[in-house]
Amino acid sequence: MLYHSFMEGKKMKKNRLLISGVFLSLILFVSCASKNTSAYTTGIENDVHVCKNLRPVYITNSKKVYLLSPEHFDYPVDTIQKIEGTYGNKSFSMLAYIQSDFNGISVSLFNIFGVDMGNLSFSKEKASFTSSMFDGKLLPEYIICDIQNAIYDSKALYANYKSAGLNFEVWNGSGFNPTASVNETRLIRDGENLIEEITNKDDIITIKNYLRGYSYILTVAEGF
């Protein structure tokens, strides 16, 4: 179970966390091309480091954050996830092999037949996304930001969003809990406005971005 792996990782600090980030937030209305950008890190507060040479991510139309340095990953991730997403009246489904540790993030996208659909990589030095399946542009920073929101250290995320005038909240079994038996809820707010909600319930991760109007459901892929 995804939840079981998550909670064991919280207790033992060494177990793998079978949870993936939601990272295709723009794929339904923009396309992707190869990007490769050099980066460096610099502190913002309380030993939190961000990648200042990478493009910032606009969480709202006016407020932006920089990606956290890979050292702020919460627990190791090494898993295949099935991703089902919707944006308006559009939908998609695909698989993603996701790895994340203190060196960075690596994602391989493929369809249910195993055909390669793209590759994403992120480290202190660069962020890149390549795919022969799509035309146009999709910045890797926006994909990585959703991954970080779901699996990176909550204290580092809180400090990073606070520096941008935004709020990052984590609830575990109490407080804001819109879905019965939710194990963890992560929220991004701009004042009173809820921007994004990430919930973990048993074997299902659900992402809802209320500002951009997209949602995702992630489950551990079986048979791989």
Q: What is the pLDDT of residues 181-206, one digit of tens each?
A: 667 889 999 999 999 998 887 767 88
Whether 128 shows a pLDDT value over 60: the answer reads yes
Cβ pair 3, 63 in contact under 8 A: no
Name the DSSP letter for residue 7: H
Whether 53 shows a pLDDT value over 70: the answer reads yes
Cβ pair 125, 70 in contact under 8 A: no
Whether 47 shows a pLDDT value over 60: the answer reads yes
Q: What is the pLDDT of residue 121?
A: 95
Q: What is the pLDDT of residue 62?
A: 96
Distance of CA 104 to the CA centre of its chain: 13
Instruction: Output the pTM of the full model.
Output: 0.77
Whether 108 shows a pLDDT value over 80: the answer reads yes
